[in-house]
Structures are given as C-alpha cells and as structure tokens.
A = this chain, B = another copy of it.
Amino acid sequence: MSSSVPSDRPIRIDNLQFVQPGTQSFSDWQAGGLDAVHITIAYHELFREMVSKVIAWNHWFEHQPKQIFHGRSADDVHKARASGRTAVFFGFQNPSPIEDDIGLVEVCHALGVRFMQLTYNNQSLLATGCYENQDTGLTRMGREVVAEMNRVGLVVDMSHSAERSTFEAIEHSVRPIAITHANPAAWFPAKRNKSDDLLKALAESSGMLGLSLYPHHLLDGTNCTLESFCQMAADTAEKIGVQSIGIGSDLCLGQPQSALEWMRSGRWTKIRDFGEGSADAPGFPDQPKWFQSGADFNNLDNGLKAVGFNEQERAAVLGENWLRFYEESFSPA
C-alpha cells in the first residue's frame, strides 16, 4: 500500500472503471487506496466472447497476486484491505452476454459477475437505452431477468438506460438497483445524466448512484474543476442523501481507439457511431487534470473536504456506501 495512504483509513471503492489491466493500473489503484474496483468486461460481447475477457483477467490474477485478486463478495473487500491488494469485481454494460437465455444469469453470477446493465445505449432484449427515441420500459424478458438477477445476486445497473426503463427497473426490482456511473442532469444535462426525480426514486429504494468522472458527463468536460465536481456531489447529497452516493469514475485508461469504437458501434451498425463524441473529436476525451488515474482518489478526498464533507461523509462517498451495497447485493436472495 502506498505510504501516502494511512493504514487506518476507511474502505475505498471505485465502482466503475474500464482501464486496461496491467501493473500501472494496479499500482495506481494501490496509490489511491482502492480496496475494490468494479471493472467492465463486456459491452457487446456474446457469452463465449465475454468468457474470453474473464480469461484475460484470470491471467492477471494469476500473475499479479500481490496486487489484485478476483472479488466475489463484500468480505473480499475486507480481505483486500487487510492484504494491501485490490479486489476486482466484474460487470457488464450490456446484457449481450446472457444472449436470449435467462439461464445464463446464474451462470454469469457463478463466474463472478456482480453488475449487469439492462441496456447499453440502444434498445436491448430487456429495456430501452438512453439514445433511443422511444422508451418502452422493461420488456417481458426484462421483467423475468430482473427477477432472476434478484434471485442470484446480480445487481441491476441502469447507467446507460432511458428514464422510463429506469423507473420501471426500480419499481420491479425487489432488491436495490444501481446507477454505477452517471451524474445529475441538473448539473450538466448530458443524455447520460439523470433527472432529479429519477435520482430521488433511486435513493428512496436504497439504490446507489456512482458519480462519474468521464469528461462527457462533466460540466465543462475535461476542464471541469475539482471544486465544481465536489460541489455537485454536495448538492446531490443534499437532494438524495449522502448514503446513496459513491464513485463510479468510468475511467477509461490505456484503451486503444478500437475499444472505444467497439463500445460505440459494436456490431449493431455499419455506419460509425460517435456516441458521446463527434466526428471532430472521435477519441477518448482527456481526463481532468485532477483525476488522471485511480491514484487521484486522494484528490477527491481533498476536494470533498474543501466543499464541507466531514470525515465520515467522505468515507461514505469514497467507498463505505458501496461496501454496504455489496454486502446487501451479491448473495443469493
């Protein structure tokens, strides 16, 4: 563990990253005191393709056992904390890995997957993505899959879903759901950010919001200031309660352009889709200077302090809230 992180500090969790695995990323996590990171392993992959991503991570678990291991339970976060490592939790940003087979929900849970978005940006078999013109809510299969996810302990994540679909997921799910990486639209009205009404419904159902550090979700993008971000966090805590807020940085680091194009266009279009980018700016946006890597959780701690979060509140936002959510969410019902 980095000497800059006191050994009696609270648990820290980044509940959404899509960084390229490697010793640099893992060292950054340790420097930022991250005991757990939720990593995206699928955007458009079918089941067998997703399994190849699991295998790629298994390579790193085998070869860097002093830095990381595969996290499956809240206990693993404590285990990571005690051994100075980071527990890596798997998630999907699309239900494509379950194909059209509800039986794959339980199989994915057995493989250690703990979060699954019901949609990426488009309509899925389960619900509607935030880029569609019409939002028809949960589909027939969507309702069945949410019930099965509830049963096995796979968290419903609606970060990229459209509003009605998200309200219906909150309503239909008997366990709290998550929006792992998004910000309030009241702060910055990106298509991916969420209305206050939705965030209130999320929090009232004991759901969690992971605040995003992805420039396209930030006021002023790459030039967003730490103060602006942290003031937004304070305003959000005011609206929905500090207990419902964590970090899901959406940090994309060390990924090739092809990974971004796969995220955006998958195999669903023959015409290049630019997603939140544009033809003029087709690449990954630059991160703000104060959040360049997992190590910069220390900056977030300072920034939250500066806008008035006390020690306990900072601990809650930077990890303890997600830890409580993990405790309640990952075991079979």
Residues of A within 8 A of B (CB): 47-48, 51-52, 54-56, 58-59, 101, 103-104, 106-107, 110-112
Contact status B55-A101, CB under 8 Å:
yes
Contacts of A58 in B (CB 8 A): 103, 106-107
User: In the complex, which of the residues B52, B111, B112 contacts A103, with contact meaning CB atoms closer than 8 Å?
Assistant: B52
The residue among A52, A103, A112 with the most chain B CB atoms within 10 A of its own CB is: A103
Contacts of A111 in B (CB 8 A): 107, 110-111
Contacts of A110 in B (CB 8 A): 110-112
In whole angstroms, what is the CA distance A55 to B100 when docked?
13
Contacts of A55 in B (CB 8 A): 101, 103-104, 106-107
CB A232 to nearest CB in B, in angstroms, measures 39
In whole angstroms, what is the CA distance A59 to B47 when docked?
19
Contacts of A51 in B (CB 8 A): 47, 104, 107
User: In the complex, which of the residues B48, B56, B59, B106 contacts A48, with contact meaning CB atoms closer than 8 Å?
Assistant: B48
Smallest Cβ-Cβ distance to A61: which chain B residue: B106
Contact status A107-B54, CB under 8 Å:
yes
In whole angstroms, what is the CA distance A55 to B101 when docked?
9
In whole angstroms, what is the CA distance A47 to B46 when docked?
13
Contacts of A112 in B (CB 8 A): 110
In whole angstroms, what is the CA distance A51 to B46 when docked?
13
Contacts of A48 in B (CB 8 A): 47-48
Contacts of A52 in B (CB 8 A): 101, 103
Contacts of A101 in B (CB 8 A): 52, 55
Q: 22 pairs across A/B with beta carbons < 8 Å?
A: A47-B48, A47-B51, A48-B48, A51-B104, A51-B107, A52-B101, A52-B103, A54-B107, A55-B101, A55-B103, A55-B104, A55-B106, A55-B107, A56-B103, A58-B103, A58-B106, A58-B107, A59-B103, A107-B111, A110-B110, A110-B111, A110-B112
Smallest Cβ-Cβ distance to A54: which chain B residue: B107
CB A332 to nearest CB in B, in angstroms, measures 10
